[in-house]
A and B are shown apart, each in its own frame.
Chain A
Protein backbone atom coordinates (compact mmCIF):
# COMPACT_ATOMS: atom_id res chain seq x y z
CA UNK A 1 0.00 0.00 0.00
CA UNK A 2 1.52 3.37 -1.00
CA UNK A 3 2.32 5.86 1.74
CA UNK A 4 -0.12 8.72 1.83
CA UNK A 5 0.79 12.36 2.29
CA UNK A 6 -2.86 13.33 2.67
CA UNK A 7 -5.91 11.29 3.53
CA UNK A 8 -9.30 12.87 4.14
CA UNK A 9 -12.28 10.62 4.83
CA UNK A 10 -15.80 12.01 4.98
CA UNK A 11 -14.77 15.39 6.37
CA UNK A 12 -17.52 17.94 7.01
CA UNK A 13 -17.12 21.51 8.13
CA UNK A 14 -19.98 23.93 8.58
CA UNK A 15 -19.74 27.71 8.61
CA UNK A 16 -22.65 30.14 8.48
CA UNK A 17 -23.56 30.23 4.80
CA UNK A 18 -21.13 27.54 3.69
CA UNK A 19 -20.61 23.84 4.30
CA UNK A 20 -17.95 21.46 3.17
CA UNK A 21 -19.74 18.13 2.86
CA UNK A 22 -18.40 14.61 3.06
CA UNK A 23 -15.03 15.35 1.51
CA UNK A 24 -12.76 12.39 0.79
CA UNK A 25 -9.33 12.85 -0.81
CA UNK A 26 -6.04 11.03 -0.99
CA UNK A 27 -2.58 12.02 -2.14
CA UNK A 28 0.32 9.62 -2.32
CA UNK A 29 3.72 10.85 -1.22
CA UNK A 30 5.79 12.44 -3.97
CA UNK A 31 2.85 13.54 -6.12
CA UNK A 32 1.07 16.79 -6.85
CA UNK A 33 -2.63 17.23 -6.20
CA UNK A 34 -4.36 20.20 -7.76
CA UNK A 35 -7.46 21.42 -5.99
CA UNK A 36 -9.67 23.32 -8.39
CA UNK A 37 -13.03 24.94 -8.11
CA UNK A 38 -14.63 28.36 -8.32
CA UNK A 39 -14.46 30.87 -5.50
CA UNK A 40 -16.40 29.55 -2.51
CA UNK A 41 -16.00 25.91 -3.55
CA UNK A 42 -14.25 24.92 -0.31
CA UNK A 43 -10.60 24.92 -1.36
CA UNK A 44 -9.40 27.20 1.41
CA UNK A 45 -11.52 25.36 3.99
CA UNK A 46 -9.90 22.10 2.90
CA UNK A 47 -6.47 23.65 3.33
CA UNK A 48 -7.36 25.02 6.76
CA UNK A 49 -8.44 21.54 7.81
CA UNK A 50 -5.22 20.02 6.51
CA UNK A 51 -3.05 22.60 8.27
CA UNK A 52 -4.94 22.17 11.55
CA UNK A 53 -6.13 25.77 11.41
CA UNK A 54 -9.74 24.60 11.63
CA UNK A 55 -11.37 21.55 13.17
CA UNK A 56 -13.58 19.24 11.07
CA UNK A 57 -17.08 18.76 12.46
CA UNK A 58 -16.88 15.11 11.44
CA UNK A 59 -14.74 12.79 9.39
CA UNK A 60 -11.09 11.90 9.59
CA UNK A 61 -8.05 13.84 8.39
CA UNK A 62 -4.52 12.52 8.22
CA UNK A 63 -1.52 14.50 7.07
CA UNK A 64 1.69 12.47 6.75
CA UNK A 65 -0.14 9.88 8.85
CA UNK A 66 -1.13 12.20 11.69
CA UNK A 67 -4.20 14.16 12.74
CA UNK A 68 -3.14 17.77 12.08
CA UNK A 69 -5.32 19.20 14.82
CA UNK A 70 -3.90 16.88 17.47
CA UNK A 71 -0.35 16.53 16.19
CA UNK A 72 2.14 18.90 17.68
CA UNK A 73 5.00 20.93 16.26
CA UNK A 74 6.76 17.77 15.03
CA UNK A 75 4.20 17.36 12.24
CA UNK A 76 4.21 21.06 11.32
CA UNK A 77 8.00 20.93 11.06
CA UNK A 78 7.49 18.52 8.14
CA UNK A 79 4.99 20.81 6.38
CA UNK A 80 5.50 23.86 4.23
CA UNK A 81 2.83 26.38 3.37
CA UNK A 82 2.24 29.15 0.89
CA UNK A 83 -0.97 31.05 1.61
CA UNK A 84 -2.95 33.19 -0.79
CA UNK A 85 -1.51 36.37 0.66
CA UNK A 86 1.90 36.68 2.17
CA UNK A 87 1.41 36.77 5.92
CA UNK A 88 5.05 37.26 6.80
CA UNK A 89 5.82 40.45 8.67
CA UNK A 90 6.30 43.10 6.01
CA UNK A 91 8.62 45.33 8.01
CA UNK A 92 11.23 42.57 8.17
CA UNK A 93 13.36 41.50 5.25
CA UNK A 94 13.95 37.95 4.07
CA UNK A 95 17.15 37.55 6.10
CA UNK A 96 15.50 38.74 9.30
CA UNK A 97 12.54 36.47 8.64
CA UNK A 98 14.87 33.53 8.24
CA UNK A 99 16.69 34.53 11.43
CA UNK A 100 13.65 33.88 13.60
CA UNK A 101 11.85 31.22 11.53
CA UNK A 102 14.98 29.06 11.28
CA UNK A 103 14.98 28.66 15.07
CA UNK A 104 11.71 26.73 14.80
CA UNK A 105 12.80 24.13 12.24
CA UNK A 106 15.33 21.49 13.30
CA UNK A 107 16.11 20.72 9.65
CA UNK A 108 16.54 24.33 8.52
CA UNK A 109 19.41 25.03 6.12
CA UNK A 110 20.67 28.59 5.75
CA UNK A 111 22.53 27.59 2.59
CA UNK A 112 19.37 26.21 1.03
CA UNK A 113 17.48 29.39 1.93
CA UNK A 114 20.14 31.68 0.49
CA UNK A 115 20.37 29.58 -2.63
CA UNK A 116 16.58 29.62 -3.13
CA UNK A 117 16.44 33.38 -2.61
CA UNK A 118 19.17 33.84 -5.18
CA UNK A 119 17.40 31.49 -7.58
CA UNK A 120 14.13 33.37 -7.11
CA UNK A 121 15.83 36.75 -7.54
CA UNK A 122 14.85 38.02 -4.10
CA UNK A 123 17.04 40.61 -2.41
CA UNK A 124 17.48 39.25 1.15
CA UNK A 125 17.88 42.78 2.52
CA UNK A 126 14.70 44.22 1.02
CA UNK A 127 11.67 44.67 3.26
CA UNK A 128 8.93 42.15 2.52
CA UNK A 129 6.46 45.03 2.13
CA UNK A 130 8.59 46.25 -0.77
CA UNK A 131 8.63 42.90 -2.60
CA UNK A 132 6.18 42.23 -5.41
CA UNK A 133 3.36 39.77 -4.74
CA UNK A 134 5.13 37.17 -6.85
CA UNK A 135 8.33 37.63 -4.86
CA UNK A 136 6.44 37.34 -1.58
CA UNK A 137 4.96 34.05 -2.76
CA UNK A 138 8.42 32.87 -3.76
CA UNK A 139 9.73 33.87 -0.34
CA UNK A 140 7.08 31.63 1.27
CA UNK A 141 8.16 28.86 -1.08
CA UNK A 142 11.82 29.45 -0.21
CA UNK A 143 10.98 29.11 3.50
CA UNK A 144 9.07 25.88 2.80
CA UNK A 145 11.94 24.46 0.79
CA UNK A 146 14.64 25.41 3.27
CA UNK A 147 13.52 22.98 5.94
CA UNK A 148 12.97 20.03 3.61
CA UNK A 149 9.19 20.05 3.91
CA UNK A 150 7.74 16.69 2.96
CA UNK A 151 4.41 18.23 2.01
CA UNK A 152 3.84 21.77 0.79
CA UNK A 153 0.31 23.13 0.96
CA UNK A 154 -0.38 26.08 -1.31
CA UNK A 155 -3.56 28.12 -1.27
CA UNK A 156 -4.04 30.09 -4.48
CA UNK A 157 -0.34 30.95 -4.76
CA UNK A 158 -0.72 32.31 -8.28
CA UNK A 159 -3.88 34.33 -7.62
CA UNK A 160 -3.42 37.96 -8.56
CA UNK A 161 -0.02 37.41 -10.17
CA UNK A 162 0.78 38.74 -13.61
CA UNK A 163 1.50 36.09 -16.27
CA UNK A 164 5.28 36.49 -16.01
CA UNK A 165 5.35 36.15 -12.22
CA UNK A 166 2.95 33.21 -12.46
CA UNK A 167 5.14 31.49 -14.99
CA UNK A 168 8.25 32.06 -12.84
CA UNK A 169 6.55 30.70 -9.74
CA UNK A 170 5.33 27.66 -11.65
CA UNK A 171 8.83 27.05 -13.00
CA UNK A 172 10.10 27.09 -9.42
CA UNK A 173 7.41 24.63 -8.39
CA UNK A 174 8.14 22.47 -11.37
CA UNK A 175 11.78 22.26 -10.29
CA UNK A 176 10.72 21.25 -6.78
CA UNK A 177 8.37 18.59 -8.10
CA UNK A 178 11.05 17.27 -10.43
CA UNK A 179 13.26 16.61 -7.40
CA UNK A 180 10.58 14.10 -6.40
CA UNK A 181 10.96 14.36 -2.63
CA UNK A 182 8.11 16.70 -1.90
CA UNK A 183 4.37 16.20 -2.15
CA UNK A 184 2.35 19.21 -3.15
CA UNK A 185 -1.24 20.28 -2.67
CA UNK A 186 -1.96 23.24 -4.89
CA UNK A 187 -5.29 25.01 -4.77
CA UNK A 188 -6.18 27.39 -7.54
CA UNK A 189 -8.91 28.58 -9.80
CA UNK A 190 -6.35 29.24 -12.54
CA UNK A 191 -6.59 25.78 -14.03
CA UNK A 192 -3.84 26.19 -16.65
CA UNK A 193 -1.34 26.18 -13.78
CA UNK A 194 -2.32 22.65 -12.85
CA UNK A 195 -2.15 21.27 -16.37
CA UNK A 196 1.58 21.88 -16.13
CA UNK A 197 2.36 20.35 -12.77
CA UNK A 198 -0.49 18.33 -11.23
CA UNK A 199 -0.55 14.53 -11.19
CA UNK A 200 -4.05 14.43 -9.72
CA UNK A 201 -6.96 16.82 -9.89
CA UNK A 202 -9.68 17.22 -7.27
CA UNK A 203 -12.59 19.38 -8.31
CA UNK A 204 -14.71 21.02 -5.63
CA UNK A 205 -17.95 22.81 -6.22
CA UNK A 206 -20.24 24.30 -3.58
CA UNK A 207 -18.46 22.44 -0.80
CA UNK A 208 -18.72 19.04 -2.48
CA UNK A 209 -16.18 16.97 -4.32
CA UNK A 210 -17.17 16.54 -7.96
CA UNK A 211 -14.25 14.25 -8.81
CA UNK A 212 -10.73 13.39 -7.74
CA UNK A 213 -8.70 11.55 -10.38
CA UNK A 214 -5.38 11.42 -12.17
CA UNK A 215 -5.01 14.51 -14.37
CA UNK A 216 -4.50 12.48 -17.55
CA UNK A 217 -7.62 10.43 -16.85
CA UNK A 218 -9.65 13.58 -16.22
CA UNK A 219 -8.49 15.07 -19.50
CA UNK A 220 -8.95 11.80 -21.41
CA UNK A 221 -12.45 11.27 -20.02
CA UNK A 222 -13.73 14.68 -21.03
CA UNK A 223 -14.14 16.12 -24.51
CA UNK A 224 -15.62 19.21 -26.05
CA UNK A 225 -18.46 18.51 -28.44
CA UNK A 226 -19.25 20.93 -31.26
CA UNK A 227 -21.90 20.61 -33.88
CA UNK A 228 -24.99 22.07 -35.55
CA UNK A 229 -28.10 22.67 -33.48
CA UNK A 230 -29.89 20.01 -35.47
CA UNK A 231 -27.61 17.39 -33.92
CA UNK A 232 -28.51 18.43 -30.39
CA UNK A 233 -31.42 16.17 -29.59
CA UNK A 234 -32.50 14.91 -26.11
CA UNK A 235 -30.44 11.75 -26.60
CA UNK A 236 -27.21 13.65 -27.18
CA UNK A 237 -28.03 16.23 -24.53
CA UNK A 238 -28.27 13.52 -21.88
CA UNK A 239 -24.62 12.65 -22.61
CA UNK A 240 -23.44 16.22 -21.97
CA UNK A 241 -22.32 17.69 -18.66
CA UNK A 242 -23.17 21.11 -19.99
CA UNK A 243 -23.72 22.91 -23.24
CA UNK A 244 -24.14 26.37 -24.63
CA UNK A 245 -25.98 27.27 -27.75
CA UNK A 246 -24.95 29.91 -30.24
CA UNK A 247 -26.22 30.93 -33.66
CA UNK A 248 -26.67 27.76 -35.63
CA UNK A 249 -24.63 25.53 -33.38
CA UNK A 250 -23.70 24.35 -29.94
CA UNK A 251 -20.68 23.54 -27.88
CA UNK A 252 -20.81 21.15 -24.95
CA UNK A 253 -18.72 19.11 -22.59
CA UNK A 254 -19.11 15.40 -22.24
CA UNK A 255 -17.59 12.87 -19.90
CA UNK A 256 -18.76 10.07 -22.21
CA UNK A 257 -17.17 10.86 -25.57
CA UNK A 258 -17.72 7.38 -27.00
CA UNK A 259 -21.43 7.49 -26.21
CA UNK A 260 -21.64 10.92 -27.84
CA UNK A 261 -19.87 9.65 -30.94
CA UNK A 262 -22.16 6.66 -31.24
CA UNK A 263 -25.28 8.82 -30.86
CA UNK A 264 -24.30 11.69 -33.15
CA UNK A 265 -21.84 10.09 -35.53
CA UNK A 266 -20.12 12.45 -37.91
CA UNK A 267 -22.54 15.31 -37.33
CA UNK A 268 -20.47 16.47 -34.36
CA UNK A 269 -16.80 17.19 -33.75
CA UNK A 270 -14.99 16.01 -30.60
CA UNK A 271 -12.07 18.05 -29.32
CA UNK A 272 -9.73 17.86 -26.36
CA UNK A 273 -11.13 19.67 -23.32
CA UNK A 274 -8.84 21.44 -20.89
CA UNK A 275 -9.37 21.81 -17.14
CA UNK A 276 -10.91 25.24 -17.57
CA UNK A 277 -13.55 23.84 -19.94
CA UNK A 278 -14.27 21.07 -17.47
CA UNK A 279 -14.62 23.51 -14.58
CA UNK A 280 -16.73 26.05 -16.46
CA UNK A 281 -19.21 23.52 -17.83
CA UNK A 282 -19.53 21.89 -14.42
CA UNK A 283 -20.00 25.16 -12.58
CA UNK A 284 -22.18 27.31 -14.83
CA UNK A 285 -25.73 26.27 -14.13
CA UNK A 286 -27.06 28.00 -17.25
CA UNK A 287 -24.90 25.57 -19.25
CA UNK A 288 -26.18 22.46 -17.52
CA UNK A 289 -27.72 19.85 -19.75
CA UNK A 290 -28.26 17.28 -16.99
CA UNK A 291 -27.64 17.15 -13.26
CA UNK A 292 -23.90 17.26 -12.70
CA UNK A 293 -22.48 13.95 -11.54
Chain B
Protein backbone atom coordinates (compact mmCIF):
# COMPACT_ATOMS: atom_id res chain seq x y z
CA UNK B 1 0.00 0.00 0.00
CA UNK B 2 2.83 2.37 0.82
CA UNK B 3 4.21 1.89 -2.69
CA UNK B 4 0.92 3.09 -4.17
CA UNK B 5 0.80 6.00 -1.72
CA UNK B 6 4.31 6.88 -2.87
CA UNK B 7 3.10 6.72 -6.49
CA UNK B 8 0.16 9.03 -5.75
CA UNK B 9 2.37 11.61 -4.09
CA UNK B 10 4.86 11.43 -6.97
CA UNK B 11 2.04 12.28 -9.36
CA UNK B 12 0.24 14.87 -7.26
CA UNK B 13 3.39 16.86 -6.57
CA UNK B 14 3.71 17.47 -10.32
CA UNK B 15 0.33 19.18 -10.49
CA UNK B 16 0.37 22.98 -10.38
CA UNK B 17 -2.85 22.81 -8.36
CA UNK B 18 -0.96 21.30 -5.45
CA UNK B 19 0.23 24.77 -4.39
CA UNK B 20 -3.30 26.13 -4.42
CA UNK B 21 -4.43 23.19 -2.29
CA UNK B 22 -1.66 23.79 0.23
CA UNK B 23 -2.63 27.48 0.38
CA UNK B 24 -6.31 26.62 0.89
CA UNK B 25 -5.41 24.38 3.81
CA UNK B 26 -3.34 27.14 5.42
CA UNK B 27 -6.16 29.62 4.75
CA UNK B 28 -8.53 27.20 6.48
CA UNK B 29 -6.42 27.56 9.60
CA UNK B 30 -6.39 31.33 9.29
CA UNK B 31 -10.17 31.67 9.13
CA UNK B 32 -11.02 28.81 11.45
CA UNK B 33 -11.83 31.10 14.37
CA UNK B 34 -14.01 33.61 12.57
CA UNK B 35 -15.61 31.30 9.98
CA UNK B 36 -15.34 27.65 11.03
CA UNK B 37 -17.83 26.54 8.36
CA UNK B 38 -15.84 28.19 5.59
CA UNK B 39 -12.65 26.76 7.09
CA UNK B 40 -14.01 23.22 6.90
CA UNK B 41 -15.01 23.89 3.30
CA UNK B 42 -11.43 24.99 2.57
CA UNK B 43 -10.01 21.84 4.18
CA UNK B 44 -12.36 19.64 2.15
CA UNK B 45 -10.78 20.91 -1.06
CA UNK B 46 -7.35 19.22 -0.85
CA UNK B 47 -8.89 15.89 0.12
CA UNK B 48 -11.41 16.07 -2.69
CA UNK B 49 -8.73 17.15 -5.18
CA UNK B 50 -6.16 14.51 -4.22
CA UNK B 51 -8.54 11.55 -4.33
CA UNK B 52 -10.31 12.78 -7.46
CA UNK B 53 -6.98 13.23 -9.28
CA UNK B 54 -5.72 9.83 -8.19
CA UNK B 55 -8.92 8.21 -9.46
CA UNK B 56 -8.81 10.24 -12.66
CA UNK B 57 -5.26 9.07 -13.38
CA UNK B 58 -6.25 5.47 -12.82
CA UNK B 59 -9.12 5.94 -15.25
CA UNK B 60 -7.10 7.83 -17.85
CA UNK B 61 -4.30 5.27 -18.01
CA UNK B 62 -6.43 2.16 -17.39
CA UNK B 63 -4.08 1.59 -14.48
CA UNK B 64 -6.29 -0.79 -12.53
CA UNK B 65 -5.24 -3.54 -14.93
CA UNK B 66 -1.60 -2.91 -14.11
CA UNK B 67 -2.26 -2.48 -10.40
CA UNK B 68 -4.11 -5.82 -10.35
CA UNK B 69 -1.18 -7.48 -12.12
CA UNK B 70 1.39 -6.24 -9.62
CA UNK B 71 2.38 -8.26 -6.58
CA UNK B 72 0.04 -6.75 -4.06
CA UNK B 73 -3.39 -7.90 -2.90
CA UNK B 74 -6.39 -6.25 -4.45
CA UNK B 75 -7.39 -5.08 -1.00
CA UNK B 76 -4.06 -3.27 -0.95
CA UNK B 77 -4.93 -1.39 -4.14
CA UNK B 78 -8.15 -0.22 -2.51
CA UNK B 79 -6.55 0.40 0.87
CA UNK B 80 -3.98 2.69 -0.73
CA UNK B 81 -6.77 5.05 -1.88
CA UNK B 82 -8.10 5.31 1.65
CA UNK B 83 -4.60 5.79 2.97
CA UNK B 84 -4.13 8.65 0.50
CA UNK B 85 -7.37 10.29 1.65
CA UNK B 86 -6.32 9.95 5.31
CA UNK B 87 -2.82 11.24 4.61
CA UNK B 88 -4.06 14.28 2.68
CA UNK B 89 -6.67 15.07 5.35
CA UNK B 90 -3.93 14.88 7.97
CA UNK B 91 -1.63 17.12 5.95
CA UNK B 92 -4.45 19.63 5.39
CA UNK B 93 -5.22 19.73 9.11
CA UNK B 94 -1.54 20.14 9.99
CA UNK B 95 -1.20 22.99 7.50
CA UNK B 96 -4.32 24.60 8.96
CA UNK B 97 -2.74 24.26 12.38
CA UNK B 98 0.42 25.89 11.08
CA UNK B 99 -1.61 28.73 9.54
CA UNK B 100 -3.59 29.25 12.74
CA UNK B 101 -0.46 29.19 14.86
CA UNK B 102 1.27 31.69 12.61
CA UNK B 103 -1.64 34.10 12.80
CA UNK B 104 -1.99 33.71 16.54
CA UNK B 105 1.69 34.34 17.11
CA UNK B 106 2.45 36.95 14.50
CA UNK B 107 -0.86 38.20 13.18
CA UNK B 108 -2.36 41.66 13.73
CA UNK B 109 -3.86 42.29 17.14
CA UNK B 110 -7.23 43.19 15.67
CA UNK B 111 -7.45 39.88 13.87
CA UNK B 112 -6.52 37.99 17.00
CA UNK B 113 -9.14 39.93 18.95
CA UNK B 114 -11.77 39.07 16.38
CA UNK B 115 -10.92 35.41 16.80
CA UNK B 116 -9.48 34.90 13.34
CA UNK B 117 -6.92 32.14 13.36
CA UNK B 118 -7.79 31.20 16.91
CA UNK B 119 -6.44 27.71 17.45
CA UNK B 120 -9.12 25.19 18.19
CA UNK B 121 -8.00 21.61 18.56
CA UNK B 122 -11.66 20.67 18.45
CA UNK B 123 -12.07 22.36 15.11
CA UNK B 124 -9.04 20.56 13.66
CA UNK B 125 -10.30 17.21 14.91
CA UNK B 126 -13.77 17.86 13.54
CA UNK B 127 -12.38 18.96 10.20
CA UNK B 128 -10.28 15.80 10.03
CA UNK B 129 -13.35 13.71 10.85
CA UNK B 130 -15.55 15.43 8.28
CA UNK B 131 -12.90 15.02 5.57
CA UNK B 132 -12.76 11.31 6.39
CA UNK B 133 -16.54 10.99 6.25
CA UNK B 134 -16.48 12.64 2.85
CA UNK B 135 -13.79 10.22 1.62
CA UNK B 136 -15.60 7.20 3.06
CA UNK B 137 -18.69 7.98 0.98
CA UNK B 138 -16.83 9.23 -2.12
CA UNK B 139 -14.48 6.24 -2.41
CA UNK B 140 -17.26 3.72 -1.86
CA UNK B 141 -19.14 5.46 -4.70
CA UNK B 142 -16.03 5.27 -6.88
CA UNK B 143 -15.62 1.53 -6.47
CA UNK B 144 -19.34 0.80 -6.65
CA UNK B 145 -20.30 2.96 -9.63
CA UNK B 146 -17.04 3.47 -11.52
CA UNK B 147 -15.17 6.65 -12.31
CA UNK B 148 -17.62 8.31 -14.72
CA UNK B 149 -20.56 8.23 -12.30
CA UNK B 150 -18.31 8.94 -9.31
CA UNK B 151 -17.17 12.15 -10.98
CA UNK B 152 -20.63 13.67 -10.76
CA UNK B 153 -21.59 12.09 -7.48
CA UNK B 154 -18.53 13.43 -5.74
CA UNK B 155 -19.21 16.97 -6.93
CA UNK B 156 -22.69 16.78 -5.45
CA UNK B 157 -21.25 15.18 -2.33
CA UNK B 158 -18.74 17.99 -2.10
CA UNK B 159 -21.08 20.88 -2.78
CA UNK B 160 -24.17 19.94 -0.77
CA UNK B 161 -22.62 19.61 2.72
CA UNK B 162 -20.38 22.60 2.06
CA UNK B 163 -23.36 24.78 1.14
CA UNK B 164 -25.25 23.41 4.12
CA UNK B 165 -22.43 24.29 6.49
CA UNK B 166 -22.01 27.67 4.86
CA UNK B 167 -25.73 28.39 5.07
CA UNK B 168 -25.91 27.25 8.68
CA UNK B 169 -23.03 29.44 9.74
CA UNK B 170 -24.00 32.42 7.65
CA UNK B 171 -20.84 32.32 5.59
CA UNK B 172 -22.58 31.98 2.26
CA UNK B 173 -23.49 35.59 1.71
CA UNK B 174 -25.55 36.96 4.53
CA UNK B 175 -28.89 35.37 3.62
CA UNK B 176 -28.09 32.67 6.03
CA UNK B 177 -30.36 31.11 8.51
CA UNK B 178 -28.37 31.33 11.66
CA UNK B 179 -25.78 34.02 11.08
CA UNK B 180 -23.63 34.92 14.04
CA UNK B 181 -25.60 32.69 16.43
CA UNK B 182 -24.82 29.67 14.27
CA UNK B 183 -21.14 30.56 14.13
CA UNK B 184 -21.22 30.69 17.88
CA UNK B 185 -23.01 27.33 18.02
CA UNK B 186 -20.49 25.76 15.68
CA UNK B 187 -17.64 27.31 17.63
CA UNK B 188 -19.21 25.91 20.78
CA UNK B 189 -19.22 22.45 19.22
CA UNK B 190 -15.56 22.84 18.37
CA UNK B 191 -14.54 24.30 21.71
CA UNK B 192 -14.81 20.98 23.50
CA UNK B 193 -12.83 17.92 22.52
CA UNK B 194 -15.35 15.21 23.28
CA UNK B 195 -17.75 15.75 20.37
CA UNK B 196 -15.00 16.21 17.73
CA UNK B 197 -13.17 13.17 19.08
CA UNK B 198 -16.34 11.12 18.71
CA UNK B 199 -16.68 12.50 15.19
CA UNK B 200 -13.12 11.41 14.35
CA UNK B 201 -13.71 7.94 15.78
CA UNK B 202 -16.96 7.63 13.82
CA UNK B 203 -15.28 8.83 10.64
CA UNK B 204 -12.45 6.30 11.00
CA UNK B 205 -15.00 3.56 11.55
CA UNK B 206 -16.83 4.77 8.42
CA UNK B 207 -13.55 4.71 6.49
CA UNK B 208 -12.87 1.16 7.64
CA UNK B 209 -16.35 -0.03 6.69
CA UNK B 210 -16.19 1.79 3.38
CA UNK B 211 -12.77 0.26 2.67
CA UNK B 212 -14.08 -3.23 3.40
CA UNK B 213 -17.02 -2.65 1.08
CA UNK B 214 -14.84 -1.21 -1.70
CA UNK B 215 -12.36 -4.09 -1.33
CA UNK B 216 -15.18 -6.61 -1.71
CA UNK B 217 -16.41 -4.81 -4.84
CA UNK B 218 -12.92 -4.55 -6.32
CA UNK B 219 -12.07 -8.18 -5.53
CA UNK B 220 -14.94 -9.27 -7.78
CA UNK B 221 -13.98 -6.93 -10.59
CA UNK B 222 -12.77 -8.48 -13.84
CA UNK B 223 -10.74 -6.80 -16.52
* Contact surface of A with B, Cβ cutoff 8 Å: 48, 51-55, 72-77, 79, 81, 83, 85, 87-92, 96, 99-101, 103-105
Report the separation of the CA atoms of residues A77 and B73 in the bound assembly, to the nearest whole angstrom. 11
Q: Does B194 contact A (CB under 8 A)?
A: no
Q: Does B66 contact A (CB under 8 A)?
A: yes
Contact of B223 among A48, A76, A90, A91 (CB under 8 A): A48
Q: Please classify how large the interface on chain B is, using the bins under 10, 10 to 19, 20 to 34, 35 or more.
A: 20 to 34
Contact of A99 among B10, B57, B71 (CB under 8 A): B10
Flag if A92 contacts B65 (CB, 8 Å): no
Flag if B3 contacts A100 (CB, 8 Å): yes
Contact of A91 among B11, B68, B71 (CB under 8 A): B11
Q: Which residues of B contact A91 (CB under 8 A)?
A: 11, 14, 57
Restricting to B1-47, which residues have a CB under 8 Å from any CB of A?
2-4, 6-7, 10-11, 14
Flag if A54 contacts B10 (CB, 8 Å): no
Flag if A53 contacts B223 (CB, 8 Å): yes
Would A53 and B10 be within 8 Å (CB), given that A73-B73, A77-B71, A103-B3 are in contact? no
Max chain B Cβ within 10 angstroms of own Cβ: one of A85, A96, A104, A105: A104
Report the separation of the CA atoms of residues A90 and B71 in the bound assembly, to the nearest whole angstrom. 21
Flag if A96 contacts B71 (CB, 8 Å): no
Q: Which residues of A contact B68 (CB under 8 A)?
A: 51-53
A-B pairs, 6 with minimum CB distance = A73-B71, A77-B71, A103-B3, A100-B7, A53-B223, A76-B71
Report the separation of the CA atoms of residues A100 and B12 in the bound assembly, to the nearest whole angstrom. 14
Given contact pairs A73-B72, A90-B60, A91-B14, enumerate 5 new A-B contacts (beta carbons under 8 Å): A53-B65, A72-B73, A75-B71, A100-B7, A101-B3
Flag if A100 contacts B63 (CB, 8 Å): no
Flag if A55 contacts B4 (CB, 8 Å): no
Chain A residue with the shortest CB-CB distance to B9:
A100
Flag if A53 contacts B222 (CB, 8 Å): yes
Chain A residue with the shortest CB-CB distance to B222:
A54
Q: Which residues of B contact A99 (CB under 8 A)?
A: 6, 10
Report the separation of the CA atoms of residues A72 and B72 in the bound assembly, to the nearest whole angstrom. 7
Report the separation of the CA atoms of residues A87 and B63 in the bound assembly, to the nearest whole angstrom. 5
Report the separation of the CA atoms of residues A87 and B222 in the bound assembly, to the nearest whole angstrom. 16
Report the separation of the CA atoms of residues A104 and B80 in the bound assembly, to the nearest whole angstrom. 13
